[in-house]
Amino acid sequence: MKNLEVVQDELINGNNFFLRNVSIDNVIFGYHQKELKVLLLRPKGLTKWTVCGGYIRKTEPIDEAAKRIARERTGLVDLYLKQFKAFGNPDRTKDAAISINLIGETEGIKADNLAWMLDYFVSLGYYTLTEFDQVKPSGEFNSEECQWWNIQKLPPLLFDHKLIITEALKSLKLDINHFPIGYELLPEKFTLPEITSLYETILEKKLDDRNFAKKLLATGIVTKLNERRNIGPHRSPFLYVFNKEKYDEALRYGITLAL
């Protein structure tokens, strides 16, 4: 957590520290046992929620800025953040004045000093997918709350953040046709129904089990073990592990799943 004086200085003199007219919004998806959630923050004094956003330092590559913002605002480190789309039109943050007044009030800063935030910002959207049961989000100085929300039951969102989440999910659904997922989300040894559920949850649709298993195995990213898990009388499905070498190769060069 940063020193409060530094934070205040950056808030008041944002144009000295940050790029103008371009910012970042991270959509942090969390998966756990057939549920897909998204991590949202509620700024102090506001009733609306936001994704995890922030500004880019003048010395910083955009991908590093995305990581730093996630770390500073939620305490999450080492996230794999994927850039998916930029959002830009002059009206996208038109209700910014209200939130800026509130930031000013709660931080004891004159709203005039925060006027730089009212500018037209093009926001670079990033998303990530993580295991939400592992994460105890902390929020940062200016947030009153930071919590996971089920993707189906989102609270009221600030600015165009509803659109940003919708577009992030659309990208994630397309991207899992071409890039492997699951290494950080499933136990080391997992069953075919478990990995199928993961894909079904993200895609929000039922998959044909056998067909999915066939496609998945054809990519080589999972390996069947000569080992079963006992889950009930007459039910002991085979266990699988990720082939980490093939998995990393697939991350780099892509796969074709066609789900």
Q: 137-176 mask for a second copy (x: CB under 8 A)?
A: -------------------------------------x--
What angle in degrees, to the nearest 10, is found between the helix axes of 192-203 and 209-219?
A: 100
Using CB under 8 A, pick the residue from 122, 218, 225, 231 that binds a second copy: 122
93 in Cβ contact with 116 (< 8 Å): no
Numbers of helices and strands, H then E, in the chain: 8, 9
Both ends of the chain: CA-CA distance in Å?
A: 42
Window contacting a second copy (CB under 8 A); options: 15-23, 104-112, 156-164, 226-234: 15-23
Taking the least distance from each CB to a second copy, the nearer of 141 and 179 is 179
Window contacting a second copy (CB under 8 A); options: 119-127, 143-151, 181-189, 201-209: 119-127
Window contacting a second copy (CB under 8 A); options: 20-28, 195-203, 206-214, 237-245: 20-28
Q: Shortest gap between Cβ of 176 and a second copy (angstroms)?
A: 12
123 in Cβ contact with 88 (< 8 Å): yes
d(CA 37, CA 111): 34
Using CB under 8 A, pick the residue from 136, 178, 205, 228 that binds a second copy: 178
Which residues between 54 and 113 bind a second copy (CB under 8 A)? 56, 58-62, 83, 85-90
d(CA 43, CA 4): 16
147 in Cβ contact with 137 (< 8 Å): yes
Taking the least distance from each CB to a second copy, the nearer of 119 and 184 is 119
Sign of CA dihedral 105, 155, 96, 140: positive
Residue 123 CA to chain centroid, in angstroms?
15
What angle in degrees, to the nearest 10, is found between the helix axes of 192-203 and 161-175?
A: 140
Q: Shortest gap between Cβ of 69 and a second copy (angstroms)?
A: 14
Q: Shortest gap between Cβ of 163 and a second copy (angstroms)?
A: 13
E-only strand ranges, the chain: 18-32, 35-43, 52-57, 82-87, 122-131, 143-150, 190-191, 222-228, 238-242
Taking the least distance from each CB to a second copy, the nearer of 82 and 161 is 82
Using CB under 8 A, pick the residue from 8, 12, 20, 197 that binds a second copy: 20
Window contacting a second copy (CB under 8 A); options: 202-210, 218-226, 236-244, 249-257: 249-257
Using CB under 8 A, pick the residue from 97, 154, 163, 259 that binds a second copy: 259
Q: Shortest gap between Cβ of 231 and a second copy (angstroms)?
A: 32
Q: Which residues bind a second copy (CB under 8 A)?
A: 19-22, 56, 58-62, 83, 85-90, 120, 122, 124, 174, 177-178, 254, 256-259
